[in-house]
Amino acid sequence: MVAIVVLLNAVAWLGLALAMPKHSQALLGKKYCAKPQLLLRLIAISVMALAVWLSVRAWGISEGVIAYTVALFLPGLAVVMLLSIYSRKR
C-alpha cells in the first residue's frame, strides 16, 4: 500500500509541475494554455485525494495522515530534484 500511495503522489507532483508554465517549457519545450493547465491541476489534486483516501483507509485516520505526509514528501523531493537536474542538462 505504501508503494501505491508513493507512486500516486509522484504522479500528482509531476502533473502539478507540468501545469506550471516554467516546468512545462523546460520538460516539454512548450507552454500550455489555460485549459490544459487547469485540467492537469484538477487531475493531480484528484490523484492526491485518492492517495489520502487510500492511506486513511489502510492505516486509520491518525496513522494514515502521517503516512500520507511522508508519502507526499518523498516523491515531491524526488520530482523537484529530477526537475532541477533535467533543467540543467537542457
Q: Are 12 and 51 in contact (CB under 8 A)?
A: yes
pLDDT of 90 reads 63
Of residues 11, 17, 14, 5, the one with CA closest to residue 69: 5
Q: Are 47 and 8 in contact (CB under 8 A)?
A: yes
pLDDT of 23 reads 76
pLDDT of 53 reads 96
pLDDT of 29 reads 77
Low-confidence ranges of the chain (pLDDT < 50): none
The predicted model scores a pTM of: 0.84
Could you tell me the three cell numbers for 42? 484538477
pLDDT of 12 reads 94
